[in-house]
Homo-oligomer: A and B are copies of this chain.
Amino acid sequence: MKYTIFIVLSIFLLFSCSQKPKHTGVFVKDINALNNAIQQASPGTNIILANGIWKNFQIKFYGLGTENSPITLKAETPGKVFIEGQSFIQLGGEYLTVEGLHFRNGYSPNNSIIKYMINNDSIANYSRVTNTVIEGFTKPNRYTNDRWVEFYGKHNQLDHCYIAGKSNDGETVRVFFTGNEHINTHHQIVYNYFGPRPRKGGPRAETIRVGDSKTRLTPGYVNVSHNYFDACNGEVEVISDKTNYNSFTNNIFDKCEGSLVLRHSNYATVDSNIFIGGDDSDFYGGIRVVNTGHWITNNYFYKIRGEHFRSPLAIMNGIPMTPLNRYKQVADVVVAYNTWIDCASPFQIGVGQNLASIDVLPKSEIRSAAPIRTAIANNVIYNTKPDKTPLINHDDMSGILFKNNILDNNRSDFNEFDVFQNEKLKMKQINDWLYAPETKNKALDSVFNGYDFARIKNDLFGASRSDNNKVGAINQLATAEKFKIDKSQYGPDWFSTEKETTEPNILKASSKSGELSNLILQAKPGDIIELTDTEYSISTPLKIDKDITLRAKGENKVEIIYKGKAHTPLFEMNPKGNLKLQNISIKGQGNQLAFESLAENMASAYNLFIDDCIIDNFNYILKASKGSFADSINFNKTVIKNSEHGFVLAADEKGDYNAEMVTFNNCEFNNISQNLIHFYRGGYDESTIGGVLTLSNNLFTNCGKTEKSGLLIKTPGIINVHISENTFKDNRVKLVALLWGEKNNHHRNNTFINSGEIKVEDQQKLEILY
């Protein structure tokens, strides 16, 4: 073995005070040297990783530092040390620091990338990972589970990191509590930038999960503060809190399609968080409340439009004497001094009440226990447009004390349930999303004997509440006016979260053999390929692994004829493939596929945007493998015809589904013999609320001839199905669709001519997964 260790003598440094040393300590250039340095480290040792790419970095960093002299493993230059390939780092011991690394172009070969434990005898305590980036370090197979950061031990910290792009199964960050060594942790997850996490299509895709159902009795004391969550869309829970006494404060949730969920936790502190939504999605979530003793104060919600489990404030119903892994009745919760601006039905009480399902679910699944001993007070709801139902009562609200909640519903008073004071508020708009009150609506606290409201000392922006205390999250206009989101405080100081935008190139492809294939291969993500001839013949699949647009150069459709082998696709959809087709006619030989995902290693989602096209004479239009995931499948003004199968979106039985937004608008379907649309989610998991199929203004004719199920459009287990303004003519099926009435399945204004009908079944029985 050869050790490459350079000892940069600190004696030298004593004589060169004018210039700050670039680095001190043990400088290492390869894994062996690094391991040797770790072995020899003592309190105060700095181990410095040489700049460059470190491949297959599989490091067990054990050491015993001290509070004043930690052992540090750091990049020579922060951000210039790239960890690639099959890599991970595990920490064990005390007072360790890891800083300045950049994980990219690879994945961990085991359960985690960063783990605060080596083994049961080498757990990390008082250790820190900081100023580090993990970017797209995702497992090749989307179905393989891992966590990127696994917390064990006590008093560990993850701060100033940027973490984004996890598309495989498993939480991004998970805190474990498997024993007395891992409780009362006081872990700090602070000042991180959690970048976009794509929709996963099912559970187990939280950005942070603190514990599990078995730890709902455990004292956690985890602090998640001052983090920025940017489009963390993995699933309905951005954060899933499952131990006690954790705090979530001063975080910003920016357009996240999920909620902060107090799932199995008790006595959580949720204070001074900002939830920013928008008009562009109905999925942005707020805070979902289960269990006992939470304090939800000083939070600010802007245009959060999520429904049901993703409501701006979802106070759930529980299950009487719930099993350990199900929903405990809400009790002793305080919701005070929060502000909702232009949110959709922000107060939802008794969410999850499912008494109607009593015949299809076991008793231990029925959420019949309405919240009790809960106070909702001193909050503000302000709407620039009236909201018909600022509060939705799903069950019995008699267990909730409503006091001094001010509603300005833009002159549309809401008096039902007698829970609001309708008032005109004067609000000042400070930026896109921030409104602060100019009205002086006094908060009440004397009525809450025993609730100790006096402990809420400051407002959302830290201004004191001691004088002229006001309702809502913001007490002082002046402090609010000064507030700006400063992204530089989140994530590493050397890493920018702003992505460069490049102008797309417009490339031109003639029908010359191989030219189109070549151009697709060479194009940069985002490029547009214009087809300049009228007919193209393609004989091998076109691999789509980036954002690419194919379009006819002129106004007339260009025809692509696929002459490839049977059972091969014209377009092979790879991870990150984002294909747009415009004004193109594609034609097969009857035995191939128009679009197909890879059978394996679909690490990331793909998309299809098909506009004004014709697809003719295939065996399948789209066949999506179980392991694949399409974020959007969008067909517009397109004719789809003469195919044995249509769209087959299969998934397995773990509550997953394999496409999020499936839309057909203004299309014509003709002579698709079976599986016209088969969009499937298997297994009952009530927190999975996805799969969206929208069919509007389409014409379906002569389809379903060989469909054995007798169903034209099959959507078992899919939560959101909207079928409207379509015409179904001469389709020889028993039913056009069988909808799930209890869920968000709807149909409207469809015309049926010799085509069966749409039936709604209120309750569906699915296999329970847990």
Contact = CB atoms under 8 A, between A and B. Distances in A.
Interface of A: 121, 123, 178-181, 183, 213-214, 216-219, 244, 266-267, 291-293, 321-325, 328-329, 331-332, 334, 364, 373, 449-452, 770
Most B CB contacts (10 A, CB to CB) among A121, A123, A332, A449 go to A332
A449 B122 CA distance: 9
Contacts of A450: 123, 179-181
Nearest to A295: B180
A451 B180 contact: yes
Contact of A322 (B123, B183, B323, B451): B323
A325 B321 contact: yes
Contact of A293 (B183, B214, B449): B183
Nearest to A178: B373
Chain A residues touching B, majority SS? loop
B293 A180 contact: yes
A449 B181 CA distance: 8
A321 B321 contact: no
20 contacts: A178-B373, A179-B331, A179-B373, A180-B293, A180-B451, A180-B452, A183-B293, A213-B321, A214-B331, A218-B292, A218-B293, A321-B323, A321-B324, A321-B325, A321-B770, A322-B323, A323-B323, A323-B324, A323-B364, A324-B328
A179 B244 contact: no
Given A217-B328, A218-B266, 10 more contacts: A179-B373, A179-B450, A214-B329, A217-B217, A217-B244, A217-B291, A218-B292, A321-B324, A322-B323, A323-B324
Contacts of A266: 217-218
Nearest to A323: B321
Nearest to A125: B450
Contacts of A332: 179-180, 183
A267 B217 CA distance: 9
Contacts of A123: 450
A598 to B, nearest CB: 37
A739 B373 CA distance: 48
Contacts of A179: 331-332, 373, 450
Contacts of A292: 217-218
Contacts of A324: 321-324, 328
A329 B216 CA distance: 13
Contacts of A214: 329, 331
A318 to B, nearest CB: 9
A495 B38 CA distance: 69
A270 to B, nearest CB: 15
A219 B364 CA distance: 26
A395 B57 CA distance: 43
Most B CB contacts (10 A, CB to CB) among A121, A180, A217, A373 go to A180
A465 B512 CA distance: 89
B213 A216 contact: no
A325 B451 CA distance: 27
A213 B320 CA distance: 11
A100 to B, nearest CB: 30
Contacts of A451: 180-181
Contacts of A121: 449
A452 B154 CA distance: 13
A329 B218 CA distance: 13
Nearest to A123: B450
Contacts of A219: 267
A507 to B, nearest CB: 57
A445 to B, nearest CB: 14
Most B CB contacts (10 A, CB to CB) among A213, A293, A328, A452 go to A293
Nearest to A334: B180
A449 B325 CA distance: 30
A272 to B, nearest CB: 20
Contacts of A449: 121, 181
A247 to B, nearest CB: 15
List 7 A-B pairs, minimum CB-CB distance, nearest first: A181-B450, A321-B324, A179-B373, A217-B266, A321-B323, A180-B332, A321-B325
Nearest to A332: B180
A181 B401 CA distance: 15
Contacts of A334: 180
Most B CB contacts (10 A, CB to CB) among A123, A213, A266, A331 go to A331
Contacts of A325: 321
Nearest to A291: B217
A222 to B, nearest CB: 17
A76 to B, nearest CB: 34
A693 B265 CA distance: 47
A327 to B, nearest CB: 11
A497 B214 CA distance: 46
A290 to B, nearest CB: 11
A322 B321 CA distance: 9
A328 B452 CA distance: 33
A266 B177 CA distance: 14
Nearest to A322: B324
A331 B216 CA distance: 13
Contacts of A267: 219
A250 B748 CA distance: 72
Nearest to A245: B219
A322 B217 CA distance: 13
A141 B292 CA distance: 37
Contacts of A322: 323-324
A180 B332 CA distance: 6
A328 B216 CA distance: 11
A387 to B, nearest CB: 30
Nearest to A154: B450
Most B CB contacts (10 A, CB to CB) among A183, A244, A292 go to A292
A329 B449 CA distance: 38
A770 to B, nearest CB: 8
A213 to B, nearest CB: 7
A221 to B, nearest CB: 12
Most B CB contacts (10 A, CB to CB) among A121, A217, A364 go to A217
A505 to B, nearest CB: 56
Most B CB contacts (10 A, CB to CB) among A244, A322, A324, A325 go to A324
Contacts of A328: 217, 324
Nearest to A264: B217
A282 to B, nearest CB: 33
Nearest to A373: B179
A510 B331 CA distance: 70
A335 to B, nearest CB: 13
Contacts of A183: 293, 332
Contacts of A291: 217
A165 to B, nearest CB: 34
Contacts of A218: 266, 292-293
Contact of A364 (B329, B364, B770): B364
